[in-house]
Amino acid sequence: MKVIKVNLILEKVFKQIPEDFKVYEKVNLKPLKKGPYEIFILEKRCISTLEAIEVISKFFNIPKNKIGYAGLKDKFAVTWQYISIPQKYKVKECIFVKRNNKWIISKVKKPYYFSLKFFCYSKTPLLLGKLKGNLFEITLRNLNKSLKEKVSKNLNLRKEIPFPNYYGEQRFGTIKGRKDFMYSELLKGNFEKALKIYYLGSDSLENITWEDILELQKERLEEYEKDMLKKLIKGYDIEKALNELPKRIKLLWAFALQSIIWNEVLRLFIEKNLKFKRVEFFEPYFLSYNLNFKKEFKNLEIPFLGYKYIPQEDIKILINKVLEKFGISEKDFEKEILGVRFLEDNVRKAFILPKNLKILNQEKDKITFEIFLPSGSYASIFVRGLLI
């Protein structure tokens, strides 16, 4: 079966401007009039959550691990989320804008900005992953007549048929289109090779220096990524530099390995049990979208590794097949690298039926719709399925 090419279409219709992808975070939060933590609404445009926290940390002299958040939000988007800061740091409402590649406080919002607005007090800090989900307002542009009809049809279809709960591209690092994964190399202790894969998408450029990488990628790197390269340029030990990265960054690398394993298992399950279409993802991986559904799969959960959460036999066979493909055995389970366990077992819901799905506006060549997805589900995955 052929793989439907959707990436070029995505580039033309999805996220043409940051306002095409608006994200409103929903958290379990009890507003208080007094408490040891202040909760702020972090509104941002064209900046990642981690970079915003880096700036807040440096400007107000707050250790990064004291700034709590429930989830990471897209960079090329306009997003609203909550962060918690201990009251003792006396953070004020403000707007940060980027000018001459530096963040400064401003009275007005610019194209690259983030702002802090006080919301309430709380007894406890916000924790990563502790959110209900996200409300998305998405605009697809440059739709010709046939594609617009297809998107409208699929929007109505997904009110009835759940979509596969794959992990989206954001889960796999800053460089898209990679054929190699750094995570497997970290398991083997190949730190230099792993870092080249991380920064370049491949380790094939053997003679490239850290200076070359900084120059090549400086426009697309986060501040913590630049800082690590600067240390390596000065002769810092690679493993030591990696160890000094925030734990949450290293956890993202670990999650990425588990995510691609899980995606592959779900893809194989759909191809075995449902009518489907294959859709490109990032090379050499593709996804399969179900075109029909069976009621018995409504609450299906698929484990990551299947040693703590024992799956049904047919899924266990698929998990073992994928682990073998990646060269992973039981001795790698819960192995600790750089102070982080890279392979832990858990379960994830295989299919999601969106909530509050409705078309907000239609024009000649664009559609704007709203959708609520639970925590951990990706709007980019949902959008990809609208184009098949």
pLDDT at 179 over 80: no
Domain chopping of the chain, boundaries: 28-122, 162-353
Pairing relationship of beta strands 78-86 and 37-45 according to DSSP bridges: antiparallel
pLDDT at 103: 94
CA dist list (Å): 76 to 170, 224, 321: 11, 18, 36
Mean pLDDT of 187-213: 79
Q: Which two tokens stand for residue 268?
A: 């194989």
Mean pLDDT of 309-328: 94
Judged by DSSP in three states, 83 sits in: strand
pLDDT at 49 over 60: yes
Segments in the chain forming alpha helices (H)? 7-13, 49-60, 145-157, 182-188, 191-200, 210-217, 223-233, 238-243, 247-273, 313-325, 379-386
pLDDT at 202: 63
> For the domain with range 28-122, which CATH number is right: 3.40.1260.10, 2.10.25.10, 3.30.70.3160, 2.120.10.30?
3.30.70.3160
Mean pLDDT of 300-325: 95
- Taking all residues of the chain, what is their mean pLDDT, rounded to a whole number? 90
Identify any residues that bridge with 82 across adjacent strands, giving them in sequence order.
41
How confident is the model over 327-346, as pLDDT tens digits? Answer: 888 888 888 888 888 788 99
Mean pLDDT of 13-40: 95
Please, what is the Cα angle at 45 between 115 and 152, to 5 degrees? 130
pLDDT at 175: 38
CA distance 373 to 135: 7
Q: Which two tokens stand for residue 388?
A: 């098949």
CA distance 168 to 378: 6
Q: Which two tokens stand for residue 53?
A: 């926290």
Residue type, 36: P
How confident is the model over 209-256, as pLDDT tens digits? Answer: 899 989 888 777 877 788 889 999 999 999 888 888 777 778 777 788
Determine contact, residues 67/84, Cβ cutoff 8 Å. yes
- Percent of the residues in the chain that have a pLDDT greater than 90, as a whole number: 69
φ, ψ at 315 (rounded to 5°): -75, -35
For the chain, what is the radius of gyration of the CA atoms?
Answer: 22
CA distance 180 to 178: 6
pLDDT at 342: 77
pLDDT at 188: 80
CA distance 59 to 181: 35
φ, ψ at 76 (rounded to 5°): -85, 80
How confident is the model over 95-137, as pLDDT tens digits? Answer: 999 998 899 999 999 999 999 999 999 999 999 777 899 999 9
- Percent of the residues in the chain that have a pLDDT greater than 70, as a whole number: 96
Q: What is the pTM of this model?
A: 0.85
Task: Please name the residues in contact with 53: beta carbons below 8 A apart, sequence gap of 6 or more.
Answer: 64, 67, 69, 83
pLDDT at 177: 40
pLDDT at 157 over 80: yes
Confidence of residue 174 (pLDDT cuts 50, 70, 90): very low
Confidence of residue 180 (pLDDT cuts 50, 70, 90): low
pLDDT at 203: 55
Q: Which two tokens stand for residue 197?
A: 């894969």
Q: What is the dihedral of CA 216, 219, 225, 227, to 10 degrees?
A: 90
